[in-house]
C-alpha cells in the first residue's frame, strides 16, 4: 500500500457503487480514506485512480483524491485495520430465492475484519452501511465480530449502522450532499466519532439505535416504492375517467403534507433496490409474525403496471399476435446501463406471451439486458427477439414502439423517424415524447394515465 495513513484514517470495505461513492465523499471532505475490496481487478483500477464503474462525477473525484493521497487502497484487511480507527462495510446483501437477504458477504467481512482486529488490538468502530434487515447489526454482525476479535462489544470494539440513501445516477451528489445522515449507535464514543466524520457534510445527523437506523432504510425505500405504485394505481383510474393523471398528481403534490416528488406514473419501478428491499422486509416481517398488506400490494401493483403497458399497446392495435414491437429503453431508468429488475424484462415476457416479435434498443444497456435474460430465453424464442443497433433500425420494420425508459436520445430524435412505424403508434410509458408534434406527423400517441379528455 502506498504511504498508508497511520491509525486514524477511515476504512471502507466493499468498493461497489455505494462503497466508492462513500469513500470519495469522505476524501472530498478532507479525510484520509483507505479502501479494500476482494475483487483484484477493481482494486487495480482504483489504485491507478480510475473508477471501475460509471457514475456521473465519480471518475473525477477518484482520480483527484488518489492523486492528492487522501484516497488509498490497502492490500489486505490487516493493512486496512492498521491504518484506520473506523471501518465502513459496504458489501452486497443480495436477494436469496425466498426474498430474504443473503448475509454471506457481510458474515465473511465480519470474520475477516474480526480476525484482523484480534491481530491489531485497539478500540475501533465497525459501521454497517450495507442494507440489512432490522436487528442484523446487533444480532448477527456484532456477535460474529465479538467471536472473531476475542474482544468485548463496547470496550474492544463498537458497532454501528449507517444506512445509505444514494440513488444511481446521482450517487456522488447524494453522497456529497445528503439531506440527512442516519447513524445507529450503542455508545457515546461511536456517536462522537461518527458525528466528527460527518461534520463537514453540513447535514442533519439523526441519532438512533442500530436496529432503528436499519428500519429507516427499509421504511424509506418502501415509502418511495409505495408512492410510485400509488401514482400508477391512480393513473389507471385517470385512464378510465378520461383525464390525464400528470396534472392531477401535480395538483395532489401541491399539498405540502403530500409533496410532489416520486409520484410519476410509468411502467413501474425497477432497479436493484426497491423490489429486493421490499421482499426482504416482507420476509422479515413474516418471520416476525406480521402481515404486510400495504407493501405487498406495492409489489403487486408494480408487476401489473408493466403488463398494463403491453395491454395499452394491444388495445390500441387490436391484438399483438404477429406484430413487431420496438421496445425502447432497457435500463431501469435513464443515464445508466443498469438493467437490474428493469420493467423491460416484464414487458418482453408479456409481449412474447402475446406472440409478438420484439426488436430491442437501448443507447447503452443492451449487453447488460442480454446477460440478464433468463438462461436460454433468446435461443428458445428463436426469431422473435432481436437486438437493434440503432433507434432507427429498431423503428424500421416494426409496427409499433413501446418506450420503457425515457432516454434523451428518444426525445431528440426527429419526429419524422416515428413515422417509420408501420402502424404509426407509440406507447410512451414515461411521457418522453411531444404528443402534439407526433399527432401533427400522423403518429398516434398512447401513454400511461393519459385518458382521452
Task: List residues binding ligand UGA (CB under 6 A).
Answer: 164-168, 221, 224, 228, 262-264, 266, 269-271, 273-274, 332-333
- What 3-state class would DSSP assign to 181? strand
- Cell numbers 433496490 correspond to 273
Nearer to ligand UGA, 134 or 270 (CB): 270
Nearer to ligand UGA, 56 or 397 (CB): 56
Give the residue with the Cβ less far from ligand UGA, 126 or 274.
274
Nearer to ligand UGA, 284 or 332 (CB): 332
CB closer to ligand UGA out of 185 and 224:
224
Q: What does the longest C-alpha to C-alpha distance in the chain come to?
A: 74
Least distance between ligand UGA and beta carbon 137 (Å): 17
As a whole number of Å, the CA-based R_g of the chain is 24
The span from the CA of 22 to the CA of 92, in Å, is 14
Q: Helix, strand, or coil here: 21?
A: helix
Nearer to ligand UGA, 31 or 217 (CB): 217
Smallest distance, ligand UGA to C-beta of residue 109, A: 18
User: In this structure, what C-alpha cell is assigned to residue 19?
Assistant: 462503497
Report the nearest approach of ligand UGA to the CB of residue 166 (Å): 5
Minimum distance from residue 125 beta carbon to ligand UGA (Å) = 22
Least Å from the CB of residue 274 to ligand UGA: 6
Enumerate residues 6+ apart whose C-beta is below 8 A from 290.
none
426 closest CA partner among 393, 451, 401, 399: 401
With left for phi above 0 and alpha for psi between -120 and 50, is residue 154 left, alpha or beta?
Answer: left
Q: Which residues are catalytic?
A: 273
Residue 372 CA to residue 395 CA, distance in Å, equals: 23
Q: Which residue number, 22 or 186, has a Cβ lying nearer to ligand UGA? A: 22
CB of 282 to ligand UGA, least distance (A): 16
Contact between residue 358 and residue 351 where contact means Cβ atoms under 8 Å apart:
yes
Closest CB to ligand UGA among 70 and 430?
430
Question: Residues in the chain, how many?
Answer: 453
Considering Cα of 80, then 82, then 83, then 85, what sign does the dihedral take?
Answer: positive
> What's the CA gap between 153 and 251, in Å, rounded?
51
Minimum CB separation from ligand UGA for residue 131, in Å?
Answer: 6
* Alpha carbon of residue 12 to chain centroid: 20
C-alpha cell at 77: 484487511
Sequence-distant (≥ 6) Cβ neighbours of residue 396 within 8 angstroms: 420
φ, ψ dihedrals at 444, nearest 5°: -75, 145
CA-based end-to-end distance of the chain: 66
- Give whichever of 156 and 253 is closer to ligand UGA, judged by the CB atom: 253
User: How many angstroms separate the CA atoms of 296 and 282, rounded?
Assistant: 7
Q: Give me the phi and psi of 114, to 5 degrees please.
A: -60, -50
CB of 419 to ligand UGA, least distance (A): 28
| 241: nearest Cα among 448, 449, 445, 431 | 449
> SS3 letters for 278-345?
HHHHHHHHHHCCCCCHHHHHHHHHHHHHHHHHHHHHHHHHCCCCCCEEEEECCCCCCCCCCCCCCHHH
Rounded to the nearest whole angstrom, what is the least distance from the CB of residue 424 to ligand UGA in the complex? Answer: 27
Amino acid at each position: 500500500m502506498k504511504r498508508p495513513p497511520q491509525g486514524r484514517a477511515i476504512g471502507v470495505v466493499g468498493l461497489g457503487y455505494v462503497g466508492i461513492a462513500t469513500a470519495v465523499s469522505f476524501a472530498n471532505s478532507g479525510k484520509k480514506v483507505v479502501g479494500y475490496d476482494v475483487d483484484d481487478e477493481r482494486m487495480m483500477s482504483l489504485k491507478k485512480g480510475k473508477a471501475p464503474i460509471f457514475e456521473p462525477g465519480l471518475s473525477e473525484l477518484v482520480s483527484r483524491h488518489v492523486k492528492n493521497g487522501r484516497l488509498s487502497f490497502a492490500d489486505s484487511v490487516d493493512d486496512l485495520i492498521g491504518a484506520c480507527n473506523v471501518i465502513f462495510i459496504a458489501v452486497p446483501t443480495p436477494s436469496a430465492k425466498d426474498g430474504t437477504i443473503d448475509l454471506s458477504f457481510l458474515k465473511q467481512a465480519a470474520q475477516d475484519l474480526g480476525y484482523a482486529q484480534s491481530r491489531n488490538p485497539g478500540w475501533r468502530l465497525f459501521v454497517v452501511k450495507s442494507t440489512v434487515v432490522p436487528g442484523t447489526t446487533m444480532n448477527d454482525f456484532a456477535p460474529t465480530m465479538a467471536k472473531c476479535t476475542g474482544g468485548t462489544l463496547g470496550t474492544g470494539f463498537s458497532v454501528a449502522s449507517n444506512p445509505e440513501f444514494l440513488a444511481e445516477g446521482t450517487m456522488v451528489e447524494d453522497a456529497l450532499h445528503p439531506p440527512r445522515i442516519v447513524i445507529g449507535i450503542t455508545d457515546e464514543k461511536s456517536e462522537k466519532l461518527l458525528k466528527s466524520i460527518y461534520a463537514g457534510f453540513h447535514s442533519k445527523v439523526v441519532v438512533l439505535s442500530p436496529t432503528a437506523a436499519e428500519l429507516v432504510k427499509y421504511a424509506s425505500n418502501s415509502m418511495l416504492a409505495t408512492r410510485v405504485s400509488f401514482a400508477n394505481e391512480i393513473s389507471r383510474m385517470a385512464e378510465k375517467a378520461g383525464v390525464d393523471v400528470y396534472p392531477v398528481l401535480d395538483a395532489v403534490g401541491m399539498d405540502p403534507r403530500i409533496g410532489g416528488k416520486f409520484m410519476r406514473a410509468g411502467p413501474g419501478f425497477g432497479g436493484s433496490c426497491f423490489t429486493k428491499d421490499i421482499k426482504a422486509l416482507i420476509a422479515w416481517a413474516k418471520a416476525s409474525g406480521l402481515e404486510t398488506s400495504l407493501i405487498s400490494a406495492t409489489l403487486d401493483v408494480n408487476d401489473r403496471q408493466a403488463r398494463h403497458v403491453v395491454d395499452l399497446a394491444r388495445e390500441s392495435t387490436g391484438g399483438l399476435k404477429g406484430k413487431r414491437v420496438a421496445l425502447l429503453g432497457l435500463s431501469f431508468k435513464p443515464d445508466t446501463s443498469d438493467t437490474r429488475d428493469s420493467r423491460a424484462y416484464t414487458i418482453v415476457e408479456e409481449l412474447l406471451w402475446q406472440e409478438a416479435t420484439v426488436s430491442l434498443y437501448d443507447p447503452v444497456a443492451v449487453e447488460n439486458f442480454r446477460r440478464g435474460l433468463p438462461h436460454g430465453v433468446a435461443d428458445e424464442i428463436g426469431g422473435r427477439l432481436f437486438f437493434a443497433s440503432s433507434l432507427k433500425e429498431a423503428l424500421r420494420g416494426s409496427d409499433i414502439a413501446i418506450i420503457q425508459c425515457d432516454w434523451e436520445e428518444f426525445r431528440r430524435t426527429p419526429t419524422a423517424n416515428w413515422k417509420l412505424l408501420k402502424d404509426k403508434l407509440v406507447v410512451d410509458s414515461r411521457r418522453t415524447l411531444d404528443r402534439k408534434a407526433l399527432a401533427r406527423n400522423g403518429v398516434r400517441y398512447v401513454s400511461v394515465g393519459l385518458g382521452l379528455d
